A and B are shown apart, each in its own frame.
Chain A
Amino acid sequence: MELTDLTLTQAISALRSGETSSRELTRACLARIQRLEPSLHAFLYLAADSALAQANAADRELAVLRKTNSQSPKPLLGIPIAIKDVLTVEGLPCTAGSKILEGFVPPFTATAVKRLQEAGAIVIGKTNTDEFAMGSSTENSAYGVTHNPWDTSRVPGGSSGGSAAAVAARMIPVALGTDTGGSVRQPASFCGVTGLKPTYGRVSRYGLVAYGSSLDCVGALGRTAEDVALLFSIMAGRDALDATTQDVAVPTIDLVGATARVAPGLAVASGRGLAPPLRGLRIGVPREYFVGGIQAEVEASVRQAVSVLEGLGAEVHEISLPHSEYALPVYYIIAPAEASANLARYDGIRYGPRIQAENMWDIFYRTRGRKFGAEVERRIMLGTHALSAGYYDAYYGQAQKVRTLIQRDFEQAFEQVEVIAAPVAPTTAFPIGAHRDDPLAMYLEDVFTLPANLAGVPGLAFPVGLDGAGLPIGMQLMGRHFREDVLLRMAHAYQQVTDWHMRAPSL
């Protein structure tokens, strides 16, 4: 077994016991990244030297802990992680996949990243993303597409495609992503990894390059629900630097024992008897998610996974989310409207490159016109139009009302069930270039993931099968606000009796 095959939890155990060192683990990740980058292009920046220096420091701490036989207060001590390039890490370039941030080196670190660093994690690099997280394939990155490790002629999904591909290819045990309309869950599904979009307001957005601020969530990708649960439990919680973060306690996540924050890895490495049965949990299967256009193998695998959960004690009910078909048009008003405001800050004055001009207005027009990519320009224009005089009520006002209806669908469903199970995407990974010049077709890829963002509920994607072409199929579980723990527990139980999450692409 290669060091890079270790899950996060296994790597933590191996570091604690001294079976391996942070330096060896970090070097193994860097070596694998170096070998696979030419065919995958998952990374936009590697911080190899600083990562190795931090690994050496972590090894010294680990040695002292072993000598004194004590527990580290840092659950991730010595663990390399990768960060989607829309989250700032002080001193490392942050492009958001855009030419308009080329050369930008942020002077501060995102709260989510900082909490992982304080827990001992080592940032190894920044992963590729659709420009400003706008896209479902990473094809909108200004720095080249990421390739799916299962089939390099296909997309990894997006926008957190770099993070998903890196985890799937065993370049890194875990990575951070962000999810505004499905950008953690859909690439997790396309790459066969586990990805969590937390409840809106659960993880701080401080240091996240803003896209759609009422939708943006920082999430985690890993190979197992357990690994994702650990990262989530460290990142989550109130942050004075993000006023939308809520004062809601982060529950102890049972699946890693009552010890998630204290001694991760100890509980689950054995995997025995720790997953509580799913008895008492009700799963709703929304009929609107199994309609025309869905790949037959996706539907079959998701239904099969639901029956596995049923076998573990859950009750399954058919439910309805009647306004599902309106999620896409609502999203493509609200997200672009928010984006058009958020992206007004890129003006060539304070950071990023400038196209010089005679006057300030022309600096704005030229810098923005030449440095933003096509999808970003489209969404800025769509949002500008939806908010402009004469159109506001018909577009933005109506969208916010229909958003209320979509939220009510979820509220009503969650009166009957604890969890909603559905496909992540209608199909498995599509070929690179399949939706070139057809933005609407690309938007339709997100049809099953957008509703959770509009309602602010958590969603967890994990692999439940492979299609005939050998491509991963994902299922998502959606839950009540702040009940990520239920989703993680359920996925963990599933992963105890199946092995889809341990399948790896041959590279």
Chain B
Amino acid sequence: MPLSLEEVEHIATLARLELSAEEKTRYRQQLSAILDYIRKLQELDTTDIAPTSSVLSGGSPMRADEPRPGLSREALLENAPEVEQGQFKIPPVFE
């Protein structure tokens, strides 16, 4: 069952992607083909199978929760497209 154009637009909105009309058409066709292939998984009965949470039996070893030095504010702002008064700058969020 191919994705509808509306579904593609909905996904793009969720993913915060601005797409051209041409991209929507192309992705609709390509994603539909991929999803078709992926549906193969429905063949398997997995009623009693637990989903994977980790591939390792050891889990994640914990470290002590102690303060430690991190990167400086200057270093972290170095790559920002717009900075003001030591902060990331964005357009106003509230009217």
A residues at B contact (CB < 8 Å): 103-108, 200-201, 214, 238, 240, 243-248, 323, 325-326, 328-330, 332-333, 340, 344, 347-354, 357-361, 363-366, 368-370, 372, 374, 377-378, 380-382, 384-385, 388, 394-395, 397-405, 407, 439-440, 443, 454-456, 481
Contacts and interface: CB of A to CB of B under 8 A. Distances in A.
Given A368-B17, A369-B17, A394 B42 contact: yes
B5 interface: no
Contact of B27 (A108, A359, A381): A381
Contacts of B3: 385
Please tell me the size bucket of the interface on B: 35 or more
A402 B46 contact: yes
Give the interface SS of chain B, mostly helix, strand, loop or mixed. loop
A246 B18 contact: no
Contacts of A364: 16
Contact of B81 (A201, A348, A397, A407): A348
B21 interface: no
Given A201-B56, A329-B40, A370-B18, A358 B91 contact: yes
Contacts of A360: 90-91, 93
Given A107-B76, A381-B27, 11 more contacts: A107-B78, A247-B61, A325-B40, A329-B40, A332-B38, A333-B41, A365-B16, A380-B17, A385-B35, A400-B53, A401-B46
A390 to B, nearest CB: 11
Contacts of A103: 79
B15 A401 contact: no
A398 B42 contact: yes
Interface string B57-79: 11011110000000100011011
Contacts of B44: 323, 326, 398, 401-402, 405
Contacts of A323: 44
Contacts of A105: 78-79
Candidate in A333, A358, A369, A407 with the most chain B CB atoms within 10 angstroms: A369
